[in-house]
Structure formats: C-alpha cells, structure tokens
C-alpha cells in the first residue's frame, strides 16, 4: 500500500479534515489516564500546522450507542491536546451542524478545531454492507459524511485503530471527497511500514506469539502466518481448545469445543508447512478466579475442578528461550488473566523475552491492548521495535485482510 502521506501534499491555506484515534482511557471522573494516542498523533498534527494548514480533527470515544452522552465527550481531549501543543484547541460541541460548521469556517492557518464525538451519531457506525442493502441507511450515512466533508479541502487518515472499519468518517467521507487530496498521516504510514515489512520480508527465525481467550478470533491470523513463520507460540485461554482437541484433560479451563476440529486442522497445516506450534506444557490453575485465589502448578493434564489462568513456569522458560533467539517477532494477546496478579507472570515473562530479543537485534511488533499494557507496565516500550496503536486493526492486518478505508486513499 504505497499511499500518499500528508508530507506529499500542499496544505498551506487549506482546511484539513483529519480522522484521528483519540479513544483514550479515562477514569470514573472522566480524567484521561493515558494520553498515548494523543501524543502519537502529534507529528501529523504539527506537520499540518507548521506548514500553514488549518486543522479539523474528528474522532470517536467509547461506545455512546449513537446518541449524545456527556460521559463520552471529547472535551477533556481538547484540553489535553491544548497542553501538548502549547496553544488553544477550539472545541465544537457537535461534529456536524451549525456550531461545527461556523467554527470550521472561521479557522485561520495554524488553528486547530476538535469536533465532538462522532459516535454521538448512529450514522458513523452504519456498516457499508448494510448501507448497500438499505437505501435509507445509505442515504443517512452519505448525508452525515457529506456534512463532515463539506468543512474541508483535504482528508487525512491517521487513525490506525479504526482502519479496519468502514465507519462514515473512515470510508464514506473520503469517498465523497473524491477529487480532493486524500492521504494518510505519519502514524498510519509507520504502522503499515512495520506490519507490512515484518510479515512480507522477515529475518529468520520468525516467531509469532498469540494469546487471548478465543481460537475463533485468531483462526485467520494463524492460517495466514503458518506459511510465513518458523514457529507459533500459543498461550492464553485459546491454548486449551488446542490441548483438548489433542486429547488433554483441561479441567474447567475455557474451551471453544465447536472449534476443536479446526484447531486440529490448523495443527496439521502447520506440521505440513514445517511450522512448529508450541502449546504450554504446564499451567497455573485455580478453583475460582479471583484476586488472591489459591493457585498451583499443573503439569500436563488439569484436574476436573481446576481451571488454567496462566502459562506455567516451564512454559514461560521454554517460550522465552525460543523468543530470545528469534530475529523477527510478532506478538498479539496475553498468556493468562493478565489483569489479575499473580496470573500476569507468564505475560510478563514473554514481554521481557521480546525486549531481550529486540536488544539483540530482532525486529519486534506488539499489537493488542494487554500485550502493549504488559510492555508499558514493565517500562519496556523503548525496547520494542514497534507497539501498534490498533489491536483489532493489527490483528486483521496479520490475517492478510485489505482495509477499504486505506485502499480508497490516494496512491503515491
């Protein structure tokens, strides 16, 4: 995807409509607990402002279900962005309508306007397939997109976290802006470069580490990676679907029984391709999952009333040994119930091994909220080649899926 970037176009004296991902975590009082997504958008924002463009930023925040809900207002984001830029960010109390349009029209070169939450409108999340099948939905989505598009001369997409979605702001807006410049920002450029190069031109050994709850979420990724990687390391609850399919006793551990035949098929595919699949030989198990729960190590089979909540120390050691000697690493998903210590130890061991391998010259790409959280909690973010800003997007990229929202943008 050799797409034009914001650096390839003239923005001087232009109104630039930029889709960003300001879906930041907040506490119960609405205070931003991590401004990482705002910070990562700054290079593209500053580039437009420094070159004399006026910027209209649009984003979603949370899931307000298509109606105004002040618990999901972007106002705190405007305040934090003002602090980071050292200049006032104008805030529109709506993303379309008279206030937004008046404020957009009044922008001068170097000004920044942040529109209110796009998801206050159900039109933002109407799926393109539904719109094609229902004329009324299509009309509503198009009307919403045209209102957003009417405010600007240029469209920039720098929201990798939603790049796999066909939301109005991601796909329909650039569609109706055909004939005007439609480009990517530096954050998406970096994501495509790292994810693309990693999968298509890896140094070997190439190791993929996959965790999380469900095999069903990762089937496409595993199928796409089997012919490309030397080794797939599996942890998290998804491992127990594979283990049960192989005839192992897994106690009360989570298992997608409907996907057991598929799990066996994937293991056969990997064996035929010469791709090693590693499953945990031991497990941290509990009778009841809660903070401070009694736990023990089970090697091999798990007793009937116990459930696995993390990979065991033997698995952590075996996995780390293979990771440390890799030259290319892709990691998506935790090894256990990462949010409840001490069942985060397996995930932490993987994070440390990935950082160690990177320090020895490996290229590492980490995607997925819990994997990225583990890296950040251990202070290892500077020791990883690239931490993706889009968990779902990076996963779909690893599946080999095309992103309509990026494909529609201008080629170099």
**Side-chain half-sphere exposure of 221, counting CA atoms within 13 A:** 26
Q: Are strands 90-91 and 363-367 parallel, antiparallel or unpaired?
A: unpaired
Report the distance separating Cα 371 and Cα 281, nearest Å. 21
204 is catalytic: no
Q: Which of 15, 37, 244, 262 is catalytic?
A: 37
Q: Which of 369, 383, 401, 404 is catalytic?
A: 369
37 is catalytic: yes
Cα torsion angle, 170, 176, 178, 181, sign: negative
Q: Rounded to the nearest 10 degrees, how much is the dihedral formed by the CA atoms of 220, 356, 33, 190? A: -60
Q: Check: CB of residue 333 under 8 Å from CB of residue 370.
A: yes
Q: Check: CB of residue 65 under 8 Å from CB of residue 25.
A: no
Cα torsion angle, 160, 374, 244, 289, sign: negative
369 is catalytic: yes
Task: Look up residue 220 and give its two tokens.
Answer: 């496409």
Q: What kind and span of H or E run contains 245?
A: helix 239-245
392 is catalytic: yes
Report the distance separating Cα 3 and Cα 9, nearest Å. 12
Q: Which of 146, 383, 392, 401 is catalytic?
A: 392
Nearest by Cα to 236 from 138, 334, 167, 314: 334
Task: Look up residue 336 and give its two tokens.
Answer: 């256990």
Report the distance separating Cα 370 and Cα 373, nearest Å. 5
Q: Which of 214, 317, 327, 356 is catalytic?
A: 214
**Side-chain half-sphere exposure of 6, counting CA atoms within 13 A:** 35
Residues in the chain: 412
Residues identified as active-site: 37, 214, 369, 392
């Amino acid at each position: 995807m050799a797409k034009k970037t914001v650096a390839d176009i003239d923005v001087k004296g232009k109104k630039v409509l930029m889709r960003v991902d300001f879906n930041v975590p907040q506490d119960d009082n609405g205070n931003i607990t991590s401004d990482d997504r705002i910070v990562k958008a700054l290079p593209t924002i500053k580039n437009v402002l420094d070159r004399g463009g006026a910027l209209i930023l649009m984003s979603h925040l949370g899931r307000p279900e298509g109606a105004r809900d002040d618990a999901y207002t972007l106002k705190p984001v405007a305040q934090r962005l003002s602090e980071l830029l050292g200049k006032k960010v104008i805030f529109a109390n709506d993303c379309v309508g008279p206030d937004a349009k008046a404020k957009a029209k009044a922008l001068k070169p170097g000004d920044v306007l942040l529109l209110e939450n796009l998801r206050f409108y159900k039109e933002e999340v109407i799926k393109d397939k539904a719109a094609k099948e229902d004329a009324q939905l299509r009309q509503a989505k198009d009307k919403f997109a045209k209102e957003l598009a009417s405010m600007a001369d240029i469209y920039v997409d720098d929201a990798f976290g939603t790049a796999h979605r066909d939301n109005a702001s991601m796909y329909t807006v650039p569609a109706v802006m055909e004939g005007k410049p439609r480009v990517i920002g530096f954050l998406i450029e970096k994501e495509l470069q790292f994810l693309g190069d990693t999968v298509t031109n890896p140094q070997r050994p190439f190791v993929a580490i996959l965790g999380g709850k469900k095999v069903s979420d990762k089937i496409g990724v595993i199928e796409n990676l089997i012919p490309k990687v030397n080794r797939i390391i599996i942890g998290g609850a998804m491992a127990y679907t594979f283990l049960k399919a192989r005839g192992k006793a897994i106690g009360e551990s989570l298992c997608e029984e409907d996907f057991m035949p598929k799990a066996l098929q994937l293991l056969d595919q990997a064996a035929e391709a010469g791709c090693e699949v590693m499953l945990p030989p031991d497990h941290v198990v509990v009778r009841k999952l809660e903070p401070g729960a009694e736990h023990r190590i089970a090697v091999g089979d798990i007793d009937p009333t116990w459930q696995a909540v993390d990979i065991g120390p033997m698995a952590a050691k075996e996995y780390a040994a293979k990771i440390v000697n890799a030259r290319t690493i892709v990691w998506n998903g935790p090894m256990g119930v990462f949010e409840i210590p001490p069942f985060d130890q397996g995930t932490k061991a993987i994070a440390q091994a990935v950082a160690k391998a990177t320090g020895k010259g490996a290229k590492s790409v980490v995607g997925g909220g819990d994997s990225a959280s583990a890296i950040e909690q251990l202070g290892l973010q500077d020791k990883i080649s690239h931490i993706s800003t889009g968990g779902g997007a990076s996963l779909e990229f690893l599946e080999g899926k095309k992103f309509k929202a990026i494909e529609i943008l201008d080629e170099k």
